[in-house]
Amino acid sequence: MLTFHVITLFPELISTYTSTSVIGRGMKAEKLAVKTYNPRDFCADKYKKVDDSPYGGGAGMVLKPEPFFAAFESIEEETRANMPVLLMSPQGEPFTQKIAQELSEHSEIAFFCGHYEGFDERIRTLATREICIGDYVLTGGELASLVVIDAVGRLIPGVLGKIASVHEESFQDGLLEGPQYTKPIEFRGMSVPEILRSGDHKKISKWRHEQSLLRTMLRRPDLLERLDLSEADKKILADLERENS
């Protein structure tokens, strides 16, 4: 089982999403677990104050270290010592499928979700990794954490019905997924490619790989630059580029 530990001021945002869809099914199947920790519950003052004005002046409020340290340290010490601790931040490294795969190999993962003008810098010392889901700013870290939880959770064996489908998805091999079709064969003048109806699985697999290369070339050529392509794939790309030029 993989357990996600989420330190958040808004635990209901986490629990509402994770109780539904694929992650919810994974929890019911006891393949996943999600635990939330509200720093307000660990405040020593009667007002449950989790933020304060920044030293040096400036707009907004900064999250205080005491309640966040206390919330994190409420997790069992042995668990804390062996798990990735992710701080969701626009300053972090871009989240990728490769990172999702790496994280899925752990049994425990913790998240820090920020709000307001960000964390007191000392809270960052608890994190083993800072993660960013895109070059934009969100109101809080909950949505970013849920993106990571969803991407990682679905990789756990038994969470998705067919593990084969995971390996055929976009980014799993560094390429975008090619086109998919289902019934009916004809719809508003658009037809399912004949090769997908041929029953020849070897040819279908070859066609799908070519379509994946084509879609990546047209939509995300930057991804191809990062891959160590085989000579066969380079030839396919050259042929596709000529056909589409």
What pLDDT score was predicted for residue 75?
A: 98
Look up residue 190 and give its two tokens. Answer: 């658009």
Counting as low any pLDDT under 70, the low residues of the chain are 162-172
pLDDT for 116: 81
Query: Is residue 159 assigned to a domain?
Result: no
Do 125 and 9 sit in the same domain of this protein? yes
Range of the domain at 35: 2-153
Q: Residue 153: its pLDDT value, please?
A: 97
Which CATH number characterizes residue 109's domain? 3.40.1280.10
pLDDT tens digits, one per residue of 44-59:
888 999 999 999 988 8
With beta carbons less than 8 A apart as the criterion, state whether 211 and 184 touch: no
Residue 205: predicted pLDDT? 95
CA dihedral 37, 41, 42, 47 (to 10 degrees): 140
Q: Answer yes or no: pTM beyond 0.85.
A: yes
Instruction: Estimate to the nearest angstrom the gap between the alpha carbon of 153 and the chain centroid.
Output: 9
- Residue 162 is assigned to a structural domain of this protein: no
Task: State the Cα angle at 70 between 114 and 142, rounded to 5°.
Answer: 25
Specify if 43 maps to a domain.
Answer: yes
| Alpha-helical segments (H) within the chain | 11-18, 21-28, 65-73, 77-81, 97-103, 142-153, 163-167, 201-219, 221-226, 231-244
DSSP H/E element including 121: none
Are residue 133 and residue 174 in the same domain, yes or no? no
Chain center to CA of 167:
16
The closest of 12, 29, 35, 14 to 150, measured between CA atoms, is 14
Please state, in angstroms and rounded to a whole number, the distance separating the CA atoms of residues 240 and 214: 7
**Domain termination site, one of 121, 153, 185:** 153
Q: What is the pLDDT of residue 172?
A: 59
- State the DSSP H helix or E strand holding residue 33, giving kind and residue range, or none if neither: strand 32-37
Question: Which residue has tokens 């390996």?
Answer: 167
Residue 163 lies in a domain: no
Pair (20, 128) in one structural domain: yes
